[in-house]
């Protein structure tokens, strides 16, 4: 019998199979209304197409675990339609459609190590490292006196990702970014 998860085991990053497709939970919320039975509201990302759906599960409902396997691989290049990865142990190469990795693609730099998810031995998605360090290629200069608490500005990283950073962060600085939320974490000392 296949492994199953109950709604009480739901968490962000949990991989499940629905209607013959692999999904990953990107958001979940347990809801207990005043009347009626409790339920769990979720946002699920299809690991093959990248489409996000919302689904509600009754408490105690069970779902099948997705038949996925993580393999460490290195990003090599993009040919426009596909992103190419290589297994560093046996040098086997795989390609994943760029369309299904829109959110992850800006963080991919040559030779970055990622976990490639295989669904039934087919590469379908990737998991980036939780944090990356990169140099700010462009951002507006901070204006003196314009230091409202929590104020941010957009910064473009060398890898191409755009993140919000505090006003005191300058162009050319190296910063640490959380790839799961695309948020600034800290400056990195050289």
Q: pLDDT tens digit string along 20-68?
A: 889 989 899 999 888 888 999 999 988 887 788 999 999 989 999 988 8
CATH code, 4-65: 2.30.30.30
Identify the CATH class of 68-127. Answer: mainly beta
Asked if domains 4-65 and 68-127 share a fold, the reply is no
- Own/partner contacts of 35-44, CB < 8 Å, gap of 24 or more, are 39/7, 40/7, 40/10, 42/10, 44/16, 44/18
Indicate the pLDDT class of residue 152, thresholds 50, 70 and 90.
confident
Residue range 78-107, pLDDT digits in tens: 898 999 999 988 999 999 888 888 888 899
CATH code, 131-187: 2.40.50.140
Average pLDDT across the chain, whole number: 87
Domain boundaries, the chain: 4-65, 68-127, 131-187
Nearest alpha carbon to residue 126 among 134, 140, 118, 116: 116
Through-space distance between the first and last CA atoms of the chain, rounded to whole angstroms: 52
């Amino acid at each position: 019998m296949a492994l199953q998860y109950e709604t009480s085991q739901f968490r962000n990053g949990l991989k499940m199979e629905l209607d013959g497709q692999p999904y990953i939970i990107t958001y979940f919320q347990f809801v207990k209304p005043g009347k009626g039975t409790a339920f769990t509201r979720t946002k699920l990302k299809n690991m093959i197409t990248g489409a996000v759906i919302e689904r509600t599960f009754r408490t105690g409902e069970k779902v099948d675990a997705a038949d996925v396997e993580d393999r460490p691989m290195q990003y090599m290049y993009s040919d426009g339609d596909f992103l190419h990865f290589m297994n560093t142990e046996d040098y086997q190469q795989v390609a994943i459609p760029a369309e299904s990795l829109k959110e992850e693609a800006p963080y991919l730099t040559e030779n970055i190590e990622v976990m490639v998810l295989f669904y039934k031995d087919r590469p379908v998605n990737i998991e980036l490292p939780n944090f990356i360090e990169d140099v700010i290629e462009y951002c507006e200069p901070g204006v003196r006196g314009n230091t409202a608490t929590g104020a941010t500005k957009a910064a473009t990283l060398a890898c191409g990702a755009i993140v919000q950073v505090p006003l005191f962060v300058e162009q050319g600085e190296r910063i640490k970014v959380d790839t799961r939320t695309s948020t600034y974490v800290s400056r990195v000392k050289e």
